[in-house]
Chains A and B, each alone.
Chain A
């Protein structure tokens, strides 16, 4: 009942706008309803209708589209999308989560090459050369989320301890400088672990190597036996590279010296928990900008600072892991694209999706900043998807939470545009021709990589076994396939 009145109301508003600006929408056809799915890390809200009608008030007059929001939690997202696609349930716009080429080869997303210029020109303009990352074989399958994609590896450390041991953090420029730091920490605080994993089985060192393009995803999440190193366009086995062997040798030294958590290969307690508990000095993780420590300090209750161990390096997968796409089963691709255009270009629409209704779900602090209404927080307001700020559309036209340094956001944007790019930026590897090898190789990597990259396995003994098992699992076939696809891509670019 309430919904119909609201709809009527929005239609009325729409009608008024039509009268005022008849040029804005010439058609008198009823608005098209599209279904919009996205991942939320907040509580999945039940107050969707009020937000939907507020969005409709903007979109109906402008593009004659109404929207139904479908926020899903991380546990449900992939399954809900697959179900909706399989069962033909209404779904028009959603974002991929990870492997874009897989969504393309399984035909989950629509080819929008011929539609994007007409229906989503603003979105296309916003993302700039990020668009290349959503192209496969010269066809466009979506528009990558525009957020801080240029991640730089950082040492995240306890500032109080760093001061105590008397080391100037600005002298640290790469992880090789850390041996001396950790030795001092171990000496003055034997009860403390100098370095803890940033996620299960990874110390973050491999992710902080500069100039490596894994041509897919990083090796901890997706098997990546073939990588590009530096400017070369020859796909090599990363695990046989000097970069990898040097890194794990250093890690092994640290492990033997007691600088690393003994259970680093298997522990599931992450860096933040270890810092909060006060038993850890540092971890190595990648962030955009230079202000992430403010939030980490707040979350852990410790005095945390960061120092960069390297500069950002943009690869395709850093950009296209979240790509906004039109569902292959959509009945209204044009309307879907028109709406997608707005989440990249219309401040009001995106802020409604992220923050809900002004006054009820948030209040403005100044032109750029918002906070929750007095006495409320993310869990008590009727609607918020604040934690999806880096997922939906364009992050740089959203409001920021109170306390965010807008200069840091400018740095994110600057580094998105100016960071060095892999020579294969825009290339995506389609592994559907080598799925048997991929599943075998994935198992071998799971078996060895966490142990080797956290120092608990001796590289002198286990690295040769690792390489031999990779070869037996069909690694060379994957590398050859990657090289062939890359060569084809390179010749296409010229």
Chain B
């Protein structure tokens, strides 16, 4: 028999949280509802109703706080559960159109919550839990680790028991041990300590070809010191490290000692070859034109990683690794033509590249820190030429020129170390907004080629200084509050503070950037030198300025928004469009809107907490 009131069931079925009910419960739901009609201008909820959950069938309702500021707007399909969730009732709500609403009495809601755990979780979960669930759940396809083996801890890929030998062995004994265990690499372990590594290739090149006696100690041909990685790191990072270092084996080491060894073949056999191949290809490019062609494959790479289930953080790492490689190669090619640098220097990236958060839509942000021996009249031309070539090359590779001209080709950002020290001192001491904006930008500087020692002391001093300057932190806070997330949705529009409706949402400006800005202020206040947004949040969680829950909430919102952007850009790439950061509400499911609204609310909450701490006023 067909369901009575099927029309109402069908209307309610896709709306969260009702979408979480099982089919039989959903069929029975309409009979538990009542219907009310509110004329435009009426108070909401109606004064003569017992507390209930409200669902807007048609029309629009406006929510304002006790001060009269717009808090939210409800339209078709929006749920208002506050009367059943102990809302304080201080909001004033008004129907702003003739409105038809469905009511579910609070006792009926409680009964549904008791009977349906998934439905209950929607109300009981914290924002962080909800967003994590959304990221892992249906919103972005399969479970991340199931979809992408390389998201698993690298330890899962290591051989059964690590094949290791003491440094006292001869080369012959080491070779015998490798043959018996059928491995191509042997770790040399001195007690708990990893002393070095010997591979088939070392036996060939450093022993046989060099005419060394097989009775010589194995330490004579081993590679040392050896890079290593923790067994809990994602396999992805191990692969990227091997690519960066040009090696094929990576020991797994943690506080307890040597845990195993993975080879690039172990990992590549599983998946993720695309990143590594592209990085190799970039390193072999002989001209900027060849680099442009290689970088043309980056959109395809982003698509494939996202399709394989990689999260936003992983994709950001992978893309930044390639863009770093492109930058390095452009610098090498320029040096090849310009001759060796007249004084040492460091090429540094800031912005999303600095934070390892690039996508195929990112701009370039970079700067040059030159040794203090720099003399403009003698060396200026060389560095100007270098910067111009690299900036042009990056633009040709799809990393567009920075609209704010934060690039090494801008003489202002191509300076000796002492000038950078003066810059930071001035930014910390000055009171204008531009200073805070520039400081925020250059606090994300990361050396990608050249001498890291040129930037390290500047960065360390700045981080130390910042924590002492409450006024500077207050200005950084004001800067971090410049971009506010929207209030929510109203039909197919984004609802901004003050009530403006816009039909597209800049997920970077209104979501990701505010979180990065918050993370930076908290890191500065705690004197932490981390640069990535998630790393910063992790470092300051539970500290004096940010609660553990607050940090978790922001981190989950950051990953959720990053995942949403990734999916948006994937869809654009598949349609042959240029990827961007603009998301249309019409393209989102009701569930995604609900999760997105939870993320907005989390950002808004943490902005308010910070604003209060540094007594920064917020413009409405």
To the question of whether A and B form a pair in one complex, the answer is: no
Q: Which residues of A contact B (CB under 8 A)?
A: none
Q: Which residues of B contact A (CB under 8 A)?
A: none
